[in-house]
Amino acid sequence: MKKKVIFASILALSLSLCACSSNKTGNVDELTNTGTDLLELNGIDDFEDYDEGYDEIVHDEPFYPSSFDGFTYESTLVKLGNYEGLRYALPETYTASEEEIEEEVASLLSTYEMTEKNDEAAQYIGYEDLKDMYEQIRFDIESGINSENYASAASDLFNALMASSEFNILDSDIESVYKEQIASYEEMATFFGVTFEELVNDYFEMTLEDLEKEVKNDAVTSIKTTLLVNGVVKEAGIDMKAVWDEKCAELLAEYGYDDAWEFVDLYEDERYLISEVKYKLVADFLMEKGVNSLK
């Protein structure tokens, strides 16, 4: 059994179940924490050490999808809601207060056990000087909050469109997604040396019945999300070939991947990347429609 597969299954909950980052459940973070706890049981300090011992796959050509389908289902989108009618007012651009910045500076200096606040301390941490440290911390605070506000708005718009759309979700698709996710959990349990029931009860802190209910509910959301994304792409006449390079690069930068192959090799399935890029494309499209309509 390859560690990489188990590692990917820990990180992929939001991709395989919720399909889009906007629809993550509260248990996603709990699962990540659970993964950390289970790794420690096997003498692995953190996720960065988790996949050590495996040679990086070398690819001669840049990644390009074999198709833009992503995940496909027999379920159907019966009626697409009116995305032209969506409206959203973004909060004003966030400006960090001096107090916030000072707190972050103090916390960072403390982390590195720096007793002085000067250029030497800033350079030791990795900044050019103290001024650069303050500027970067301000940027990180403001860009982080503004990005969160944007993601929240995009999620609200997408969910509003989903609520106004109609779907025909087949039990066979729900069962397929459910079985796939349960299988990944069983692999995790085997690798970490616990039973499946122990994984669910002791680490997820759920009953088997609760897990089944949550996974199936998330499967429905995942299927609806995929159908809705594909529906918007088709209805709006979005040319995936024309926008792929730009949107894929944006997504990889947000997630911290060096290139697309790194993402695809981790999950061993290009559909995860394709689905995430398509969701980002549609989310940005809806934001342009919804926010600009108020200007």
Task: Quick: pLDDT tens for 42-54.
Answer: 554 544 444 544 4
CB 193 within 8 A of CB 4: no
pLDDT mean across residues, the chain: 83
**Residue 293 neighbours by CB distance under 10 Å:** 13
Interval 204-227: pLDDT, tens = 889 999 999 999 999 999 999 999
pLDDT band at 91 (very low <50, low <70, confident <90, very high): confident
pLDDT recorded at residue 258: 86
**172 or 199: whose pLDDT is higher?**
172
Contacts of 170 by beta carbon, 8 Å cutoff, 6+ apart = 73, 74, 75
43-64 in b/e form (b: 16+ CB < 10 A) is ebeeeeebbeeeeeeeeeeebe
CA distance 185 to 278: 26
Task: Please give the sequence-ordered ranges of beta strands (E in DSSP) within 1-159, or none if there are none.
Answer: 76-79
- Determine which of 44-48, 56-60, 168-172, 244-248 has the lowest per-residue pLDDT on average: 44-48
Highest mean pLDDT among 32-36, 137-141, 184-188: 137-141
CA distance 232 to 238: 8
Task: Please give the sequence-ordered ranges of beta strands (E in DSSP) within 19-161, or none if there are none.
Answer: 76-79
Which whole-number Å values give the CA distances from 76 to 194, 220, 221, in the listed order?
A: 39, 12, 13
Stated as kind and residue range, the H or E segment containing 147 is helix 130-163
Contacts of 185 by beta carbon, 8 Å cutoff, 6+ apart = 9, 196, 199, 200
pTM beyond cutoff 0.75: yes
**Residue 266 neighbours by CB distance under 10 Å:** 18
pLDDT recorded at residue 43: 52
**37 or 137: whose pLDDT is higher?**
137
> Measuring CA to CA, which residue among 230, 228, 220, 221 is closest to residue 69?
230
The sign of the torsion formed by the CA atoms of 249, 252, 253, 259 equals: negative
Question: pLDDT above 70 covers what percent of the chain?
Answer: 79
SS (H, E, C) 245-266: HHHHHHHHHHHCCCCHHHHHHH
